[in-house]
Each structure stands twice: as C-alpha cells, then as structure tokens.
Structure 1
Amino acid sequence: MDLMGPSLESLFEMCDKSFSLRTVSILGLQLLRRLKFIHSKGILHRDIKPDNIVMGVDGDENKVYLIDFGLSKRFMVGGKHGKSSCSNDFLLLFVIYFVSTTDNLTCVDIEQSVRSDLEALGYVLLYLMTGMLPWYGLSVEKLMKNKEQLGDDVDTMCKGAPAALAEYFAYLFELDFGPKPVYRKLSQYVAQMASKDEKNEQQHEFEWLVCFNSSFSLILFLCSTFGAERLRNNPLINILMKC
C-alpha cells in the first residue's frame, strides 16, 4: 500500500476541531463519489469514520481516500441485493459513534444496505461541522436509543449544522432496504451545506494546507508516523506551522 497522508481525525485535531463548511462540503462530495464507486462493485465498507478517511500526498493533497476494508462485505449477489448481516467482528470492532441507526448492535441478523454507509458518512459530516455528536459519552444501550430517537427529529440531531444536512438524513431515513439511493440527490444536499459565494472545489484550499504552508509534507509524514494528538503540542510542529 502506498504511503498516504494523515487521517481526517488527525487533521481535525491539528486544526483545533474547526473546519469551514466549504471544506466539509468538498470532503463530503469526494467521499460520496468514493462510496458510489465502492457500492457499484457490490461492496459495503461498514466502517466509515474519520480515522479511516485519509488525504493523499505527492500532488494529491486535495484528494480524499477511504481505507481499512477489514469489515467490508459483499452485498450484491447475482446482480441482486443480497443479505449482508452484522457479525461478531462487526459488533466488537465497529465504532458505534458513527454506526447507522439500522445496525442494531444487539442483533447479529440485521441486514445492511448502502444506506448504512451513507448514514455513517452523514454522521462524519455532522462531527466535522460541529466538533461533536449528540450521543458522545453515552453507554452503548443509551447511545443507540438516543440515535433512534433523534433519527425521528433530524432538525434536533443536526442542530448547529446547515439545514441541508438534515435534508440529507431525512432522505436516507425514508429509504427502504432495497431501493438504490440517488447519489446525485445526496450530492446536491452536501453541496448546499456551503455558501454559494465560497470558492469551488478546484479553487478551495483546505485549512491544513494553508496553515502548514511549505512544511506540509514533513508534517504529513510526522502525523502519519506518530499521530496528530502526540504531536499537537510538540515545539517542532509549532515551529513548522509558523514557517
């Protein structure tokens, strides 16, 4: 596997958990394209979270990638939507903060669909916009109950985020198990999360690229090797960020 840049979680921490809406929108649009491609191959990722989303290097610093397909499963069988159920490895390893409300952690026979990945992506976007999720700190049982209750009230769940994110979730929650989502419609919601007068995807510079300037490549390597949290208060990093 080629060396990749740091994860979104690392960069989010390095930027004091503050991304612009344009940054989150552009990341979301790229991730929707990645998921559309993965799903077109009949695969569910099943572990969408900021730690599994990384940036490119060597000229691809503006490209986002999905990694860690250890929990992925095939859901297309003979061109039809087959059964992809949760298993013990899923229950033990999945980060529950970003798990879909349809993926009941107490049931191993729950069927999953592409909605699970897309819903998890929505939680990632909510986290990157607000710096937290409404159910942080709750036990597993209370967390899932809280998410199910908030799922009926997307406006409350998305408090502090653009209205377009609530529309994104509302569309997903109306989907049945089988129907294929309209990715174009989801992309429209994600695009609407940023102001129209902001720079487009080709012109936009991510916060960490602007902040780190010419020292970015070195910081990428250090973050990937040692982790952003360990380096956050490191004097060397502070010096590089001022270069």
Structure 2
Amino acid sequence: VQKDFVESITAQHTLATGKNKGRKAKHASFVEPLPEGEEVTDTTGKKWKLIRQLSQSATELLYEVSRPSSKELNHTLKLGTKDGRIFNEQNFLQRAAKPASVEKWVKQNKLDFLGIPSCVGFGLHTDSYRFLIFPSIGESLQSIIEKENQPLSEEVVLQLAYRILDVLHYIHSNEYVHADISAENVYIKQGQRSQVYLVGYCHAFRYGPGGKHVEYREASRTPHEGTVQFISLDAHKGAAPSRRSDLQSLGYCMLHWHTGLLPWTELTQPQQIATEKQRYMEDVPALLSQCFGRRSVSRAFQTYLTAVMALQYSEQPNYSTLKAGLSDALVQLGASVEEPLNF
C-alpha cells in the first residue's frame, strides 16, 4: 500500500507540475530564476533580499526572503511573470482577502483561525516579474505526504477538510472560488494548534460579481484548467467554476489523501479523466468502492461526497451541515478539529 501510494502521489505531482503546468504556461511564460542575494522593492519602497529558492514550477518560483535591515526571515516571496496568473492572485488578495476583512469574518463566525495567507507586500521587478510576499506559513501538504510515504489517516483528512471548508466559506462569501485545490496548495504550520492554509489563488474566479451568479456555459473558458486529477467536471468542460466546483475538488482530494487512489489515477489525458469523473458523479457508492477497495467505506466521506456531488451549479452549499458531518465523525474517532494534526 505504501509503495502504491508513493507512486501515485508522485504521479499526481508530476502531472500537476509537468503536463498540466504546461497548459497553465499558455497564459504565462516560463519564469527564469533570479539569483539568490538579489533585492526587489515592493510598492511601499521596502526592499526584500532573496535568501534561497524554495521551489520552482513552470510559472512561478518561491523564495525565502528577508529585509536587508532586519535579521528576521520568516517571509516567502512568490515570483511570476509580470502578466501571468500571479496578477490574478494579486487581484484576488487585494479585493477579497484584506487582513481586516479576514479578521472581521473570524470574529463574526467565532473562529479561532482562518487559513488565508496575508499578503504583506507586492510589486514589479524589472520589466519581466511580478511578486507577492507572505509571512511564512509552514510546509506544503504535498511535501509532507511525500515524506510520510503513506496515505493520511481518516482523522487527519477530516481535520484538513474541516479547516479548508472554513476558508472556502469565506472566499465564496466574497464572490470568489479557488478553482485549484490540491495538496500543493495546502500549507500547514504546526504548533499548539495546527494552522491549515489554502494558498495558490492564481485560478481564483469571481463567480458572482455584484451578487449575480454567472451562467453555466460550457466552452466559455479554457477547458481542463487547474490540477487535472482534482478539478471539477465543470472545469473540464470549460464552464466557469462555481462553489460546487471547489467542494467537489476537495472531495477528490480527501479520497486521494486517505486512500492514495482515484479511479482515473493512471490516466493522463484530460478528456479521459473527465469521462471517468462524469461516470462516478452519478454513482458515488461506486467511486467510494473503487477508492476504499476491501476496506470499509468511511461514512463521513460518503456523506460529504453524496452532498457535494448533488449540488446544482449556482446552489449555495450548506457549509455548516458539511462541517458538522466532519466534526461528528472526528468525535466518533476520538478526535476533534482543534487537536494538532498527527501525521
């Protein structure tokens, strides 16, 4: 099981950062790395020094950065091409994820934490680059899974899903959807209480401008955008992503994180993957059976997936009911949402 899971998660990572990232690159040129030690200046005039490169994909790089006049590191710089998708992320963060707005939501909904990264600086560098700066938010779930070399426990997956639902509820309430949920876009900062962040808003889409939901129109956008193994059927068909798209993507991620499998794991052609998703959307028990195999199917997974697969395109999800199902299942497992994640 461990060997199969490692091969599976590596395949997902390769597909996401290779072929699929290549499709994203149609919207943005390949990013050439900047040398470590170089300085960039944000729009407020603050200088940031690139300490070391953390990761690289076809369209973006991450660096650990510091202020030249300060010994404090703990900041991450995301670098992309000037006119690439990073501009879309910047627009989302400035419009819908202002720290004051997030803090107000946390208080109104009596949350202890909401995992939306706070952008503390942004700017342009030369004529080619755009960058965003964030406080350090820990380690990607993708990296943790690869180190663990085995599927995540049901307890951990339910804890992750509960926290991600909090973030989705917030961004959906601000007329946006994420549209690219995957282990690469989930970060975890361990402490007394694990902080779970949903990052990577390059594909964020405003589904309800002015309070009016966009109409469902296939082929109105580029099909198959996002990490193809986990995107919704709507995205495969080139329809604008909606709230149900995010919740269905989260369901696919939950299954993969816990079982290491999806019925389309071995497929590489987006249209083939879309065909399989269409088939299993109409038969959730078969989807669960394929993923869980001979093991007993998690009732929490079954409840969640049945609910989100039945959502209409413009329907407002019942976040409280979905979260309650996950929370109740955690209690039955002798755990709770508040406990630190135990990988």
TM-score calculated relative to the size of structure 1: 0.75
Q: Tell me, which stretches of 5 or more residues in structure 1 are unaligned? A: 208-243
When residues 204 and 79 of structure 1 are mapped into structure 2, their CA distance, relative to the original with a 3 A threshold, is: same
Alpha-carbon offset, residue 82 of structure 1: 2.7
Structure 2 Cα separation of the partners of residues 68 and 84 of structure 1: 24
Q: Mapping of 1:204-219 within 5 angstroms? A: 204-207=340-343
2:252 partner letter: Y
**1:148 paired residue number:** 278
Q: Mapping of 1:91-170 within 5 angstroms? A: 91=224, 93-105=225-237, 108=238, 110-138=239-267, 139-159=269-289, 160=292, 161-170=297-306
Structure 2 Cα separation of the partners of residues 20 and 193 of structure 1: 13
2:168 partner letter: L
Structure 2 Cα separation of the partners of residues 60 and 67 of structure 1: 21
Specify which structure has the higher proportion of strand. 2
Q: Does the aligned pair in 2 maintain the 1:56–1:63 contact within 8 Å?
A: yes
RMSD: 2.2
Question: Which of structures 1 and 2 has the bigger CA Rg?
Answer: 2
2:257 counterpart SS class: helix
Q: Does the aligned pair in 2 maintain the 1:162–1:193 contact within 8 Å?
A: no
When residues 191 and 197 of structure 1 are mapped into structure 2, their CA distance, relative to the original with a 3 A threshold, is: same
Alpha-carbon offset, residue 164 of structure 1: 2.4
Determine if the alignment matches structure 1 residue 54 to structure 2 residue 184. no
1:11-62 Cα offsets, whole Å, 9 max, x none, are: 11111123221111111100000100111111111111110001126x4760
Specify which structure has the higher proportion of helix. 1
Determine if the alignment matches structure 1 residue 189 to structure 2 residue 322. no
Alpha-carbon offset, residue 84 of structure 1: 8.0
1:102 counterpart SS class: helix
Structure 2 Cα separation of the partners of residues 205 and 143 of structure 1: 31
When residues 205 and 137 of structure 1 are mapped into structure 2, their CA distance, relative to the original with a 3 A threshold, is: closer
Structure 1 Cα separation of the partners of residues 234 and 306 of structure 2: 14
Structure 1 Cα separation of the partners of residues 137 and 281 of structure 2: 35
Determine if the alignment matches structure 1 residue 28 to structure 2 residue 161. yes
- Which structure is richer in relative contact order (CA contacts within 8 A, separation 6 or more)? 1
Q: Mapping of 1:163-182 within 5 angstroms? A: 163-182=299-318
1:181-235 Cα offsets, whole Å, 9 max, x none, are: 100111133335446142222334422xxxxxxxxxxxxxxxxxxxxxxxxxxxx
TM-score calculated relative to the size of structure 2: 0.54
Q: Does the aligned pair in 1 maintain the 2:236–2:270 contact within 8 Å?
A: no
Q: Does the aligned pair in 2 maintain the 1:7–1:50 contact within 8 Å?
A: yes
2:187 counterpart SS class: strand
When residues 84 and 69 of structure 1 are mapped into structure 2, their CA distance, relative to the original with a 3 A threshold, is: farther
When residues 51 and 60 of structure 1 are mapped into structure 2, their CA distance, relative to the original with a 3 A threshold, is: farther
Q: Does the aligned pair in 1 maintain the 2:188–2:197 contact within 8 Å?
A: yes
Alpha-carbon offset, residue 152 of structure 1: 1.3
Sequence identity, in percent? 26
2:137 counterpart SS class: coil
When residues 94 and 197 of structure 1 are mapped into structure 2, their CA distance, relative to the original with a 3 A threshold, is: closer
Task: Please say which of residues 133-142 and 111-120 is displaced more in the overlay.
Answer: 133-142
Q: Tell me, which stretches of 5 or more residues in structure 2 are unaligned? A: 1-133
2:322 counterpart SS class: helix
